Structure 1
Amino acid sequence: MTTAPVIELRTFTDLDPVRGDLLNVYAEVRAPLLHLPNYAVTAFGERLDRHGTEPGFAAVLAYADGQPVGYAYGNRIEHGDRYWQRTTPPPTQEYTERPALAIKEIGVRPAWRKTGTARRIHDVLLATRDEPYVTLMVNPAAGDGKVHALYRSWGYEDLGHSQPSAASPVLTVMIRSTS
């Protein structure tokens, strides 16, 4: 029987103390894609800074031996938020009438993948929230479809599609209950 890796999960509602750790982990997580404009570390940093000022921002980082190995972060979105406006087809009122948690990024360093670390980070992030639904976007080609399948195994269902920016690929919007 394998035991879960020893990690410390820390929750933050202020971006400043963890911005550097998020950028460092992101650069390793997305290394094969960094040549694409939407995935460049500078583009991520700009998005991260914007997300860090949005309502309900929270991040969970996993640390092993004091070093960051993974993260997830998101914020609260309301009815009429641009997140919902870019989703096609438009989501039903069931999902948009109350605030939802939008997970903007989940990433785990390659050495920590397939250890349950991403799921643990995700679950701690959700445990801090009171929104009835959580949504995220996934590139259906990521990991040859394995990332999309992973989110389905966590209870997410496809809701629609979105292209957050002209440089972004078309993403699948997924949703599930937070409970």
Structure 2
Amino acid sequence: MTTVPAIELRTFTILDTVRGDLLDVYADVRAPLLHLPNYAVTAFGERLDRHGAEPGFTAVLAYSDGQPVGFVYGNTLRHGDRYWQRISPEPAKKYTERPAVALKEGGVRPAWRKTGTARRIHDALLARRDEPYVTLMVNRAAGDGKVHALYKSWGYEDIGQSQPSPASPVLTVMIRASR
């Protein structure tokens, strides 16, 4: 990891105040995949609007010189949430019986990768959460497997697979304790 550049972390609980910045960073982060239906900016915008209306929505963005360079956002999952219902095999009750936080999307602009920015954003979001577990879904092919390996190095473990929509690839579901 290189020296961590100066960034300002900002937390948002209302989507409207940060939607444009999220779309801008997303488009840069996913640029090589934007031609695929699931990764198109319009598809992301639709997911973002749905997620932003869900309970416990929180986004953390990193800014450098006033420009957004990375983000993560998530929301609260409750027992019986459709997120849990789409996972195969069925997750252990210890994960689903109490609220958990789901990291729905995140990314860091290419110039900011390998600077520790992603971890700082991730940890800042979790520092504000009370849920005992945090879960996410990752495309194992992302970054030639490097994204999955990064999450494993942060303490996440694989618990199953999910395909959230017909246009989505099959994703690996990961979980860990929030703290």
Aligned match of 2:175:
175
Q: Could you list the runs of 4 or more consecutive aligned residues of structure 1 that deviate by over 2 angstroms after TM superposition?
A: none
Measure, in 2, the Cα distance between the counterparts of 1:166 and 1:3: 41
Secondary structure at 1:9's aligned position in 2? Answer: strand
1:92-131 per-residue CA deviation (whole Å, 9 max, x = no partner) reads 1100000000000110000000000000000000000000
- The answer for the alignment partner of 2:130 in structure 1 is 130
- Determine helix, strand or coil for the equivalent of 2:42: helix
**Aligned position for 1:140:** 140
Secondary structure at the counterpart of residue 140 of structure 1? coil
Size of the alignment, in residue pairs? 179
Work out the CA distance in 2 between the residues paired with 1:18 and 1:112. Answer: 20
1:98 matches 2:98? yes
| Partner residue, 2:161 | 161
Alignment of 1:60-99 (within 5 A): 60-99=60-99
The residue type paired with residue 31 of structure 1 is: A
Match of 1:56 in 2: 56
CA distance in 2, matches of 1:63, 1:10: 8
AA aligned to 1:24 is D
Q: Which residue of 1 aligns with 2:112?
A: 112
- The 8 Å contact of residues 9 and 121 in structure 2, kept in 1 or not, is answered as yes
Whole-Å Cα distance in 2 between the matches of residues 2 and 53 of structure 1? 37
Residues 33-90 of structure 1, C-alpha deviation per residue, up to 9 Å, x if partnerless?
Answer: 0000000000000000000000000000000000000000000001110100000001
Please state whether the residue corresponding to 2:24 is helix, strand or coil.
helix
Question: Structure 2 length normalisation: TM-score?
Answer: 0.99
User: What is the alpha-carbon distance in structure 2 between the residues aligned to residue 131 and residue 81 of structure 1?
Assistant: 15
Structure 1 residues 139 and 2: CA distance shift in structure 2, 3 A? closer
CA distance in 2, matches of 1:88, 1:128: 29
Gaps of 5+ in 1: none
Structure 2 residue aligned with 1:25: 25
The letter for the 2-side match of 1:127 is A
Q: TM-score, length-normalised on structure 1?
A: 0.99
Give the Cα–Cα distance (whole angstroms) in 1 for the partners of residues 3 and 74 of structure 2.
28
